[in-house]
Chains A and B, each alone.
Chain A
Amino acid sequence: MANETETPEGTSIDAEENARVASRRRVLKLGAIAVPAVATLSPSMAMANNGGGAAVSMMACQVRIPSRIDADGDVVPDNAHVFRQGGHWVYKKDPNSKQKTRVFRVGSNFSYSGQQIKDATAGGVINPPAGVGRHKFEAHVRYMQHVRSGNVPGAGLSCLVSLTNSLNVANI
C-alpha cells in the first residue's frame, strides 16, 4: 500500500507498465493481532453519556425476529414438525408430551424498529404495532426478553439493551 506509484494523468503505455510492475511489488503489511482494528460506537454508550443520543439510536436500531417463534417466546427448531391445528400453526415442543405449542410465523427478514417496540410497550401495556396480532406480538416480546437476558443468542441485542427501560413488561 505504501509503495504505490502515482500515475500522472494522460498515462503513456510505459507509465502504465511501470505502474503494473510497481503494483506487483506492493506488500500488504498487516498489523499485530493485539492492535485493535475496529472501534465501535454503540447506542448504549450513547445513552450512558448523553440522553439525547439514546432517543436517536432507538429509532435507528432494529431487532430481527426469527421466522418461527412459539408462544413461550422460544425459537422453534429448524427440524421441528410444524402443522396446522384448529386454525393455528402448532408443534410438539416436548416430543414426549401430547401438548402442542402455538407457533407464530413471520417472513425471513421481519424486524421491529426500536421506536415500534417502544411505542408498542409504552407504560407496560402491550399495544401491538399495526398489522401484528396481539398473541404474535406477545410471543415476540417474550422472545426479546429471552434475548435480552442472554438465554438465547439473538441479533439486535444492543438495540434491546438500549430499550431496557421501555421493555418493562415482565408480567406478560
Chain B
Amino acid sequence: MSGARYIPARADLRVEPLEDLTLVFHRLSGETHILSPEMEMMFSHLPDAGIHPAGLLRTLETEYGAVEAEDGDALAVISQRLEELAALGLVIRAA
C-alpha cells in the first residue's frame, strides 16, 4: 500500500460535467482533460483534505457495496489512476 495522500487541486480547475464524460479545465496549463466516468468518480470522491488510495477504495466500497477490477486488484487500479491524475496536476500528491 502506498503512503501517498492525494489532494484534489480544485482551486486550479473548472469542472464541467457533460452527459457521460467530464471536462476538466486546468487553469495553470491551459489544458482540458476529458475524464472517463470511472476516473470522474474517483476524482469526485476525493475529500478536500486528501485521501490515501486505500481510503478511497473504502469510500467507493461504502457507496457501491463492492468494487471490482478487471485486472483483479481494485487498489492497484485506484493507485494507478490517482498517479495519473497527479501527473496531470489535477490532484497533488502529499507525502
User: Chain A: residues with CB nearer than 8 A to chain B?
Assistant: 1, 23-33, 36-43, 57-58, 60-64, 111, 114, 155-159, 162
Please indicate the chain B residues that have their CB under 8 angstroms from the CB of A156 in the complex: 28-30
The residue from A29, A39, A111, A159 contacting B68, defined by CB atoms under 8 A apart: A29
- Interface CB pairs A-B, < 8 A, 21: A23-B65, A25-B65, A26-B65, A26-B66, A27-B67, A28-B66, A30-B38, A30-B67, A30-B69, A32-B77, A37-B35, A37-B38, A38-B36, A38-B39, A38-B88, A40-B31, A41-B32, A61-B30, A111-B28, A158-B31, A162-B30
Contact present for B28 and A30 (CB under 8 Å)? no
- Complex Cα spacing A30 to B69, Å: 4
CB 8 Å contact bits of B61-92 with A (1 = contact, 0 = none)? 00111111111001011101100110011000
Query: Which 8 A-B residue pairs are closest in the complex by CB-CB distance?
Result: A61-B30, A28-B64, A37-B39, A30-B69, A37-B36, A32-B70, A43-B30, A155-B28
Supposing A31-B38, A37-B36 touch, asked if A24 and B27 sit within 8 A by C-beta, the answer is no
**Interface majority SS on A: helix, strand, loop or mixed?**
mixed
